[in-house]
């Protein structure tokens, strides 16, 4: 045959308003989606090559590596969206080791029928969040599944960060005498999602706390002796504290009156019979810091926007290793335990 022959339609690829299965076919529609939507949003030299992998120069030393999948209904909520969560969540998982986050990957599982406008909003939000966190999205993947096989959009991000020499931060590093610090009020994200989903408004301004925590982390390790950092996401502050007590084989004494909780979050939890200590956060951290530098660390935290409301909430003790005890609001004592599963609204 003398002239090249192709089976594909010679007409230009039509502009779609929604994602169709063909966008995940690996064919021209996929290429168009990558070229017109993902590349402009995440543009950088490594991604622009459109290879199946990103090849990166990394300084010698230790790297931190993490991955997380993001599923949330609704995709957009006060204070953020699934894209912002997908960047900040992975950035924060890196930062909680003391690592400076560098690169992310992003994989999208899209349900057919998602509007391109929504997908674009999400990628733009990821782009802004990545810029805010100082990370680059260097490689990615897109799959499209039939309607009903996913809930609009699932995103998986992985991240790489560089851990500076001399830094050793881990959930197993808590020591008796440490001060327990939380970076701000707890429960904002979980209650925002819940009230948006259920259409119940608990008073105006509540929004998700989703935020990158790398700058806060850097301020903290620059100011003092930080042993443990955790971002209490799913399971909330309570679950994180239980995990730290177990990993470090120490006891933790938590003062219930010292834990900051916004009025709206308190009210929602009262109505639903939930405990704010177990409600999710996406832009908070809990830290165990040597008593000798606790005040310096707190002052440094309060100078960073994400740490403005940082405060002491308890201390690490040698007794009752593995167990978190709460001094209750009225001065009683109780165990704080890892809940069996997610909290359920109580009957009465």
Q: Which of 216, 4, 42 is nearest to 141 (CA)?
A: 42
Q: Which is nearer to another protein, 146 or 249 (CB)?
A: 249
User: Which CB sits closer to another protein, 17 or 346?
Assistant: 346
> Minimum Å distance from CB 166 to another protein?
30
Q: Least distance in Å: CB of 34 to another protein?
A: 36
Which ranges constitute the DSSP H helices of 4-115? 28-33, 39-42, 45-48, 82-95
Q: What is the distance between the alpha carbons of residues 320 and 174, in angstroms, rounded to a whole number?
A: 14
CB of 249 to another protein, least distance (A): 10
- What does the alpha-carbon distance between residue 29 and residue 19 come to, in Å, rounded to a whole number? 10
Closest separation between CB of residue 328 and another protein, Å?
A: 4
Q: For another protein, which is the closer residue by CB, 70 or 278?
A: 278
Closer to another protein by Cβ: residue 226 or 272: 272
Quote the strand ranges of 146-225, DSSP E.
153-163, 179-182
Residues that bind another protein (CB under 8 A): 198, 200, 246, 257, 263, 266-267, 270, 273, 320, 322-323, 325-326, 328-335, 337-338, 340-341, 344-348
> Is residue 84 within 8 Å of 125, Cβ to Cβ?
yes
**Residue 100 to residue 209: CA distance in whole angstroms:** 21
Least distance to another protein, CB of residue 346, Å = 5
**CB nearer to another protein: pick between 168 and 249:** 249
- Least distance in angstroms from the C-beta of 291 to another protein: 24
Cα separations (Å) of 307 from 54, 184, 220, 310? 34, 6, 10, 5
| Residues contacting residue 325 through CB under 8 Å, at least 6 positions apart | 251, 252, 253, 254, 333, 334, 335, 336
- The closest of 171, 181, 175, 177 to 295, measured between CA atoms, is 181
Q: How far apart (Å, rounded) are the C-alpha atoms in residues 198 and 119?
A: 23
**Closest separation between CB of residue 194 and another protein, Å?**
11
Residue 67 vs 249, nearer CB to another protein: 249
Quick one: 134 or 345, whose CB is closer to another protein? Answer: 345
């Amino acid at each position: 045959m003398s002239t090249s022959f192709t089976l594909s339609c010679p007409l230009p690829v039509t502009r779609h308003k929604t994602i169709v299965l063909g966008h995940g076919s690996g064919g021209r529609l996929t290429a168009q989606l990558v070229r017109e939507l993902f590349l402009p949003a995440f543009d950088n030299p490594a991604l622009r090559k459109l290879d199946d992998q990103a090849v990166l120069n990394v300084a010698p030393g230790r790297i931190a590596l993490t991955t997380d999948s993001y599923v949330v209904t609704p995709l957009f909520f006060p204070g953020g969206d699934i894209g912002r969560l997908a960047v900040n969540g992975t950035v924060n998982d890196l930062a909680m080791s003391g690592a400076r986050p560098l690169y992310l990957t992003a994989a999208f599982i899209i349900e057919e029928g998602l509007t391109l406008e929504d997908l674009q909003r999400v990628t733009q939000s990821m782009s802004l969040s990545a810029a805010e966190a100082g990370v680059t999205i260097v490689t990615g993947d897109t799959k499209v599944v039939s309607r009903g096989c996913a809930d609009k959009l699932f995103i998986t991000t992985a991240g790489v960060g560089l851990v500076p020499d001399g830094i050793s931060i881990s959930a197993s590093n808590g020591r008796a005498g440490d001060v327990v610090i939380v970076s701000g009020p707890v429960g904002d994200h979980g209650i925002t999602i819940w009230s948006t989903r259920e259409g119940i408004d608990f008073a105006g301004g509540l929004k998700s706390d989703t935020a990158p925590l790398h700058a806060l982390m850097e301020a903290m390790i620059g100011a003092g002796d930080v042993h443990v950092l955790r971002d209490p996401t799913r399971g909330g502050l309570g679950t994180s504290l239980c995990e730290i007590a177990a990993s470090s084989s120490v006891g933790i004494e938590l003062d219930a009156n010292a834990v900051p909780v916004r009025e709206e979050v308190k009210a929602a939890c009262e109505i639903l019979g939930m405990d704010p200590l177990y409600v999710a956060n996406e832009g908070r951290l809990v830290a165990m810091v040597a008593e000798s530098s606790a005040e310096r660390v707190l002052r440094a935290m309060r100078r960073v926007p994400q740490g403005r409301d940082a405060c002491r909430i308890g201390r690490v003790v040698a007794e009752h290793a593995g167990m978190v005890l709460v001094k209750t609001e009225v001065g009683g004592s109780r165990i704080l335990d890892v809940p069996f599963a997610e909290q359920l609204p109580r009957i009465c």
